[in-house]
Amino acid sequence: RPHPRRRGRASLHTMCRPDPFLSGPILAAVQAASIFPDCKTFVDLSLLVPPAECWRRWEELSQPPSEEQLRRFVASVFSAEPGEGQLEPWWPEDHQPAPALLSRLPAGAVREWASAVNGLWPLLGRRLSAEAARRPDRHTLLELSHGVIVPGGRFREAYYWDSYWVVLGLLAVDMDATARGLVSNLLECVARHGFVPNGLRKYYLNRSQPPLLTQMVAALLARLDAPPEREREGAEREGAEREGAAPALRLLREALPALDAEYGWWMRTGDGRSAVRLEADGVRAEALLNRYD
């Protein structure tokens, strides 16, 4: 029978192992050997086995492993394709093939172009799969409560300031619920991590992008103040909602604590933080410079 103290030490050893996608000898070996032509490919794969089993198999290899050993190890422990089993196709329920915006545009090339862009929303819609949600330690995606719109190509996740332009586009074609879900994902990121990372993967948690979350919330609030014609007519028929349950107030209650927390993150000064204080020098006044990676 194993000695309980020895078993405890082994368990602690396993628990202290780094995430193989984020740091440590596995990541270093795979990237140094250029197993994949694109360095983003490996960190977007999924583990086929629990992390502890991944490390057990790694430790069975001769160190450093040969390239052949390394390739066999990767093929046996990680998925064949990046993003596999993580985000699944998602068709936003509020997508319309012919939104009102199209009828207001000049007929011809402009309207055709806008129609083609509108047709991309379902093609780029993704949501976290049930398997990925159940096993967050087997991939690098951050938790998502709502569907997202991804850039496409090698960019298989949502990005911070990209989402601002996506939200404006969605609102323009009356996809308010999808836009609201995108913003809620980012607000939840702030609640969990204190800020919105560059993109919605774990390896982006060391940096951010130009902070446009406040502008996204403002765009949603402006929409709630001036809803589409069909919604205004419905509100007149059904009567105004009670003030305490108004959508704008619900959004503000959700958003303001997160926006305040994100502002605080951006205004931190000191080494490796998001703000740099510029001292007055006789020519310019003291200033605070925000930086992002």
**What pLDDT, on a 0 to 100 scale, did the predictor assign at position 137?**
96
> Residues 72, 133: one domain?
no
User: Are 157 and 185 contacting, i.e. CB atoms less than 8 angstroms apart?
Assistant: no
> Residues 175, 53: one domain?
no
Domain count, the chain: 2
> Residues 266, 153: one domain?
yes
Domain limits at 269? 87-226+247-288
Average pLDDT for runs of 10 along the chain of length 293: 42 67 96 95 97 96 94 96 94 96 95 96 97 96 96 93 96 97 97 96 94 97 76 52 67 96 93 87 86 76
Query: What is the reported pTM?
Result: 0.85
Beta bridge partners of 276: 289
Out of 16, 42, 77, pick the residue that ends a domain.
77
**What pLDDT, on a 0 to 100 scale, did the predictor assign at position 9?**
43
> Residues 215, 108: one domain?
yes
**What pLDDT, on a 0 to 100 scale, did the predictor assign at position 238?**
53
